[in-house]
């Protein structure tokens, strides 16, 4: 049995069917009924429904599994505590293989969510568990393309001239599945997962325009506008101080530095060329046209 945390997230919903297709039994951790149903539909044999930050839920989640794929939920205020606790519980219960989804350049500690992952990596390294650490670059996210297809505007909340390396989550979850299926071959490994290319927002805009066959606008929006769009009106009710810190640090860091990596490790793991941003946009646009009939 493999425990997958954040199981209906950006990675989880792609990873689950790959593990199930390989004949593995998956225990999925989610916190809403809605996602519980969805992970069951994707083939999860067991579902742990509840807040993984709750020690009782976490203990039940880890109980009896042979391997764990741990993804910290996006900008969760207790991401570090959850990471430490799941490593400790895995050690206590003798889990064979702990695979941690971290981030490219986790040592960049002025990014809040990187510093947390750096700490979790260190905790895992010191635990004595057999581990594999995956370090994906910025995700190619469908969410970021939807407004482009609908309104013709590509928005980022950092300086548009800064360069970024990206990675496709189909590739990331292919690697995650490979590592979990092959196990021992990947013990004690840390893999940077990065697609080809170093793109400014203008480069990304040109690629999207090429796929759509018409020009789109590229705009910088301030971090707080992005935050409001991400979290909705609840942002103003308070209680989001951690998330605000995370997103403001992203804007500051990505506006003052490039965030780039190298695709060699991903190419080797996949045994083929990583998915490019252009391929990702083409695929997403095809799905958008199919779903909406719009071009």
Ligand X SMILES: NC(=O)c1ccc[n+]([C@@H]2O[C@H](COP(=O)([O-])OP(=O)(O)OC[C@H]3O[C@@H](n4cnc5c(N)ncnc54)[C@H](OP(=O)(O)O)[C@@H]3O)[C@@H](O)[C@H]2O)c1
Binding footprint of ligand X on the chain (CB under 6 A)? 6-12, 29-32, 35, 51-53, 71-74, 76, 101, 103, 113, 136, 138-139
Q: What is the dihedral of CA 64, 69, 74, 75, to 10 degrees?
A: 70
Q: Is 217 left (phi over 0), alpha (psi -120 to 50) or beta?
A: beta
Q: How far is the CB of 293 from ligand X (least distance, A)?
A: 28
Residue 63 or 215: the one with the smaller Cβ distance to ligand X is 63
Residue 53 or 244: the one with the smaller Cβ distance to ligand X is 53
Q: Using CB positions, name the residue nearest to ligand X.
A: 9
Give dist(CA 204, CA 278) in Å, integer: 9
Q: How far is the CB of 171 from ligand X (least distance, A)?
A: 13
Residue 53 or 189: the one with the smaller Cβ distance to ligand X is 53
Give dist(CA 45, CA 60) in Å, integer: 15
Q: How far is the CB of 141 from ligand X (least distance, A)?
A: 6
Give dist(CA 290, CA 295) in Å, integer: 9
Give dist(CA 257, CA 79) in Å, integer: 25
Q: How far is the CB of 213 from ligand X (least distance, A)?
A: 27
Residue 35 or 195: the one with the smaller Cβ distance to ligand X is 35
Q: How far is the CB of 163 from ligand X (least distance, A)?
A: 15
Q: Which residues pair with 255 in a beta bridge?
A: none
Residue 139 or 152: the one with the smaller Cβ distance to ligand X is 139
Contact 208, 145 (CB under 8 A): yes
Give dist(CA 46, CA 37) in Å, integer: 11
Contact 68, 2 (CB under 8 A): yes
The radius of gyration computed from the CA coordinates of the chain, to the nearest angstrom, equals 19
Enclosing H/E stretch for 2: strand 2-4
Q: Which residues pair with 139 in a beta bridge?
A: 167
Residue 7 or 99: the one with the smaller Cβ distance to ligand X is 7
Q: How far is the CB of 192 from ligand X (least distance, A)?
A: 11
Q: How far is the CB of 250 from ligand X (least distance, A)?
A: 9
Residue 7 or 67: the one with the smaller Cβ distance to ligand X is 7
Chain-centroid distance, C-alpha 159: 22
């Amino acid at each position: 049995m493999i425990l997958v945390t954040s199981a209906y997230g950006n990675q989880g919903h792609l990873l689950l069917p790959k593990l199930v297709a390989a004949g593995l039994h998956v225990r999925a951790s989610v916190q809403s009924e809605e996602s519980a149903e969805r992970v069951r539909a994707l083939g999860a044999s067991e579902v742990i429904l509840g807040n993984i930050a709750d020690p009782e839920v976490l203990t039940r989640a880890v109980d009896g599994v042979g391997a764990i794929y741990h993804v910290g939920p996006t900008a969760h205020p207790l991401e570090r505590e959850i990471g430490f606790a799941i490593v400790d519980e895995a050690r206590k219960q003798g889990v064979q293989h702990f695979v941690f989804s971290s981030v490219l350049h986790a040592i960049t500690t002025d990014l809040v969510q990187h510093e947390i992952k750096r700490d979790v990596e260190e905790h895992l390294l010191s635990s004595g568990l057999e581990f594999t650490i995956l370090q994906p670059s910025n995700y190619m996210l469908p969410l970021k393309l939807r407004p482009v297809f609908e309104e013709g505007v590509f928005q980022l909340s950092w300086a548009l001239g800064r360069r970024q390396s990206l990675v496709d989550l189909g590739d990331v979850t292919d690697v995650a599945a490979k590592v979990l299926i092959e196990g021992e071959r990947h013990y004690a490994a840390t893999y940077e997962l990065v697609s080809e290319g170093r793109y400014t927002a203008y480069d990304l805009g040109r690629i999207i325009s090429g796929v759509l066959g018409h020009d789109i606008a590229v705009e910088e929006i301030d971090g707080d506008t992005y935050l409001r769009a991400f979290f909705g009106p609840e942002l103003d009710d308070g209680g989001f101080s951690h998330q605000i810190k995370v997103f403001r640090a992203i804007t500051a860091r990505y506006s003052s530095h490039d965030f780039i990596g190298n695709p060699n490790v991903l190419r080797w793991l996949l045994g083929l060329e990583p998915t490019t941003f252009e391929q990702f946009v083409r695929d997403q646009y095809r799905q958008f046209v199919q779903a909406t009939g719009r071009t």
